[in-house]
Chains A and B, each alone.
Chain A
């Protein structure tokens, strides 16, 4: 850091502190979602700050209660509208903080955007024709796509929401496993721009942008937060442009406009901090300057005959042309066609936790944030892989061989931490996860040997002993899986299957895996 001005470093340090504090809080909450959670209703507090997930709760899960449970998100959106800035993205978002860490570590030389040949050609053509076709940033299209698909019962938040991505990533790091999706996003930030995801792809960010835009229109005069430029003091050096992790709007830089109008402004204050000209830029709150420029490095005058800015907008943004749009729609159609197809073909229907037995409704509602997997005191939930197709990727599957479900002892910890309302409350006597079936060819008791461990373990007396043979009483069986967990044979001779599913027993030894010990 060069020694120009404590203020400049000051605002940076304050923002780092706030961002890292929120990141630490986020990690702590995910960490403490494990049973017994510090306070179950608030373990998912940050997850309920996600306005996109809140919208999906309405369009996907179609639950007003779940929608209302996202009140922190609605408060946040209200503040966004009021301030006219995506301040959440610049100060709170844990994923954004990760990108900022990448940005801080990237060497200076990598910060410059290098337009590809195709984009340069397109820009030259646009300049030649003089057309300024209005282009829409991809994130708005993605936002529309996510909401539309949620209406069809397809929940894409696991890719689309920074909260969900972060929560799942923290869970995987705690496991510890590699959070591949986060790694991919970070690599994108390394290769392209730190805030590329935030400005061009993030659907939740698009929602914040839309709301802040509305807010700017509504409260142009009374906005509690605005970046204002004094054209008389501006020396057009472009320091603010370089400082901005997003795309500062060009008219603002070039001269006349008074107030920064970009819907993507995250109110980080970097532009004001970087401005060398006293009073040229100021961060104002209801007309009162909070923070005024002039501590940046003194400006050099632009060389004669040279524009301080590139001729055309550097166009950092990812916008969509007609061809690209058609291409992406076709790709989407192909993906959608393969959405339900599992890698291993059509496998048996996965078991879910109590209160999540309507599979299509569950798939529409579940965010795949893995909060329930983290919270389960028994450790009986595992995130699914691709065995159920993309549509079930990362959804929690109940795996009784690992551990049986003890919902009546934990009071449905999974339901209580679920931010999406995907799990319904169940009276303990009405739980029906599935039904246990006995493999009579393999079962020790059916071979005349003394065992009956399943009968010993069953808390619901749903297994009768017919001599030495266990017999399941369907009316009493809750599908808790204590029997499957404990069966001494390998693989288990008693297994829980979703209701109505007729089991096919393996002849060979290729059954479910069992924990060692």
Chain B
């Protein structure tokens, strides 16, 4: 095309050009150029949108087997429920797990394991609001020892951004050091959950569950035993509210029954209850009076583990309806006395 600086300014030429303004050639050229420009802008905008949406929120999970479909663990000559009360939190965790047959009873080589602690709060150990990081780390380490291909730490924190919570309660560093991948979401509902029907539900017929939980071979709940203002106690079954992205929604369906409904979907294979320091009032976030119970409870029956944990608060499963509902749904037994319980 001719250069725009070319030639002389001739008034006649100007007149001519002005007259030609409406000419087809010019208009077509102009439209073409503007079209190209608009196309470029659109392309840039969509690239920006794509870049913005690739924020890394979507977890990449390749395993597709449903939870609980692996062959049932080989029963060993071991206890059904173990209560450890001596040693450091890590030692208690290992002792309790060894007493119920070791991690090999629950995790097979090559399994993808999801570990669900309670990492919801930005408090240290003494507040009794989050799972002890040593307990979490020991569980992860034992999963690795049992040959787990991947151990994924999943949670949806309550008070504050995921990293802030994980840093404050120490679970982040401990879990990473023990060899887990972290998929922890922060405070607000940022999506990421997959709306999943709960076939055995009584009250809540679907939940937005994080896909890695659905895809895992084994799900292990590692709760903090503590008081809870609305549910009574927060234990291993209630812990699974944190595998959903729409955490608040569960309260619309009746909290107690919905906790049991959600547990029928997740079906934990192992429960390791951290009762080293327990929060007695003003739960789940505290601050409130705590007691050093120095206890770790491990069981393949999450209902029984929760039921046993109630006794630490001077309560029984009957005081915490979701345990009764879960037992009713066939997830386990609330009557731990019927099981082989050992103290180690």
A residues near B, CB below 8 A? 1-2, 4, 8, 101-102, 105-112, 114, 173-176, 190, 237-239, 241-243, 270, 273-274, 296-297, 299-300, 302-303, 306-310, 377-379, 402-404, 406, 409, 444-445, 449-453, 455-459, 461, 465, 468, 482, 485-489, 515-517
Cross-chain contact B256 with A450 (CB below 8 angstroms): yes
Instruction: Name the distance in Å between B244's Cβ and chain A's nearest Cβ.
Output: 10
- Segment touching A, from B59-67, B247-255, B269-277, B305-313: B247-255
Specify which of B34, B120, B122 lies most central, judged by the most chain A CB atoms within 10 Å of its CB. B34
**What B residues does A378 contact at CB under 8 A?**
161, 187-188
On chain A, the residues within 8 Å of B34 by CB distance are 105, 190
B181 within 8 A of A: no
**Which A residues lie within 8 Å of B122 (CB)?**
459
CA distance A190 to B30 in the complex (A): 10
| Additional A-B contacts beyond A108-B2, A409-B161 (19; CB < 8 A) | A2-B2, A105-B34, A109-B21, A109-B26, A111-B4, A175-B49, A242-B9, A300-B8, A308-B8, A310-B14, A444-B252, A449-B254, A449-B255, A453-B248, A456-B229, A456-B285, A457-B187, A488-B250, A488-B252
Contacts of A515 in B (CB 8 A): 188-189, 191
Q: Is the CB of A457 within 8 A of B21?
A: no
Q: Is the CB of B30 within 8 A of A110?
A: yes
Say whether, besides A106-B33, A110-B26, A297 and B7 are in contact (CB < 8 Å). Answer: yes
Which residue on chain B has the smallest CB distance to residue A240? B5
Interface flags for B189-229 (1: CB within 8 Å of A; 0: not) read 11111000000000000001000000000000000000001
Does residue B1 face the partner (Cβ distance < 8 Å to A)?
yes
Q: Is the CB of B229 within 8 A of A109?
A: no
> A193 to chain B: closest CB distance in Å?
13
* 9 nearest CB pairs, A to B: A238-B9, A274-B5, A488-B248, A450-B230, A517-B191, A451-B251, A450-B255, A452-B230, A105-B33
Complex interface: chain B residues within 8 A of A409 (CB): 160-161, 164
In the complex, the number of residue pairs spanning A and B with C-beta atoms less than 8 Å apart equals 180
Stretch of B40-48, B138-146, B296-304, B323-331 that contacts chain A: B40-48
Chain B 79-123 against A: per-residue CB contact (8 Å), 1 yes, 0 no? 000000000000000000000000000000000000000001010
Given the known inter-chain contacts A174-B48, A459-B160, A486-B248, please indicate yes or no for A2 contacting B188, CB distance below 8 A: no
* Set of chain A residues within 8 Å of B11, measured between Cβ atoms: 306-307, 310
Return 29 A-B CB contacts under 8 Å, by A number: A1-B3, A2-B6, A107-B26, A108-B4, A108-B17, A110-B21, A112-B18, A114-B21, A176-B45, A297-B7, A302-B8, A303-B10, A308-B8, A404-B187, A409-B161, A445-B230, A451-B251, A451-B255, A453-B247, A455-B285, A459-B122, A461-B282, A465-B229, A485-B188, A486-B247, A488-B249, A488-B251, A517-B193, A517-B245
State whether the Cβ of B75 lies closer than 8 Å to any Cβ in chain A.
no
When the two chains form their complex, are residues B249 and A459 in contact, meaning their CB atoms are under 8 A apart? Answer: no
Given contacts A109-B21, A517-B191, contact A308 B160 (CB under 8 A): no
- In the assembled complex, which residues on chain B have CB atoms less than 8 Å from the CB atom of A457? 158-159, 187, 285
Let me know if B73 is at the binding interface, CB within 8 A. no
In angstroms, Cα B202 to Cα A50, docked, is 62
B252 touches A489 (CB 8 A): yes
**Is B52 positioned at the interface, with any CB of A under 8 Å from its CB?**
yes
Nearest CB on B from A382, distance (A): 14
Contact A109 B4 (CB under 8 A): no
Once bound together, how far apart are the Cα atoms of A297 and B251, in whole Å?
79
* Those of B18-34 within 8 Å (CB) of chain A: 18, 20-21, 23, 26, 29-30, 33-34
Tell yes or no: B295 within 8 A of A by CB: no
Which of B36, B160, B188 is within 8 Å of A486, CB to CB? Answer: B188
Q: Which among B37, B46, B254 has the highest number of chain A CB atoms within 10 Å?
A: B37
A205 to B1, CA, bound (A): 32
**Interface presence of B284 (CB below 8 A):** yes
Contact B9–A237 (Cβ < 8 Å):
yes
CB neighbours (8 Å) of B36 from chain A are: 105
Q: Residue of B at shortest CB range from A102?
A: B37
The verdict on B231 contacting chain A, using a C-beta distance below 8 Å, is yes
Q: A173-B48, A485-B187 are in contact. Are A517 and B208 (CB under 8 A)?
A: yes
A445 CA / B248 CA spacing, docked (Å): 13
Query: Are A2 and B285 in touch, CB under 8 angstroms?
Result: no
Smallest CB separation, B131 vs chain A (Å): 16
Task: Identify which of A175, A309, A379, A456 contacts B158 (C-beta below 8 A).
Answer: A456
The answer to whether residues A107 and B33 also contact, given A114-B18, A457-B159 and a CB cut-off of 8 A, is yes
Chain B proximity of A338: nearest CB distance (Å): 32
Task: Please name all residues of chain A whose beta carbon is closer than 8 Å to the beta carbon of B6 when the two chains form the complex.
Answer: 2, 297
Q: How far is the CA of A190 from the CA of B23 in the complex (A)?
A: 17
CA distance A452 to B248 in the complex (A): 10
Q: Does the CB pair A403–B252 fall under 8 Å? A: no
Q: Flag whether B289 is at the interface (Cβ < 8 A).
A: no
Cβ of B246 < 8 Å from any Cβ of A?
Answer: yes
Q: How far is the CB of A273 from chain B (nearest CB, A)?
A: 7
Minimum C-beta distance from B83 to chain A (A):
28
Beta-carbon contacts under 8 Å, B146-198 to A = 158-161, 164, 187-193
B14 contacts A112, C-beta separation under 8 Å: yes
Partner among A274, A309, A516 whose Cβ is within 8 Å of the Cβ of B191: A516
- CB-nearest residue of chain B to A314: B14
Closest approach, in angstroms, between the C-beta of A479 and any C-beta of chain B? 16
Bound-complex Cα distance A72 to B29 (A)? 41
Closest Cβ of chain A to B274, distance in Å, is: 18
Residues on the A chain within 8 Å of B18, using CB: 112, 114
Kindly list chain A residues whose C-beta atoms are within 8 Å of the C-beta of B285. 455-459, 461
The residue on A at minimum CB distance from B122 is: A459
A101 to B41, CA, bound (A): 12
A453/B9 in contact, CB under 8 A: no
Which residue in chain B gives the minimum CB-CB distance to A190? B34
Q: How far is the CA of A409 from the CA of B162 in the complex (A)?
A: 11
B187 touches A482 (CB 8 A): yes
Q: Which residues of A contact B20 (CB under 8 A)?
A: 109
Of the candidates B52, B190, B251, the one whose C-beta lies within 8 Å of that of A174 is B52
Contact A243 B5 (CB under 8 A): yes
Instruction: Give complex CA distance A243, B256 in Å.
Output: 77
Q: Given A108-B1, A451-B230, A486-B247: A237 and B48 within 8 A (CB)?
A: no
- Contact status A176-B159, CB under 8 Å: no
Rounded to whole angstroms, the CA-CA distance of A413 and B20 in the bound complex is 55
Q: By the criterion CB–CB under 8 Å, are A453 and B251 in contact? A: yes
Whether the pair B9, A176 counts as a contact (CB closer than 8 A) is no
CA distance A175 to B188 in the complex (A): 19
Which residues in A have their C-beta under 8 angstroms from that of B284? 456
| Chain A, Cβ-Cβ closest to B232 | A450
Asked if A461 contacts B287 (CB within 8 A), the reply is yes
Residues of chain A lying within 8 A (CB to CB) of residue B29: 107
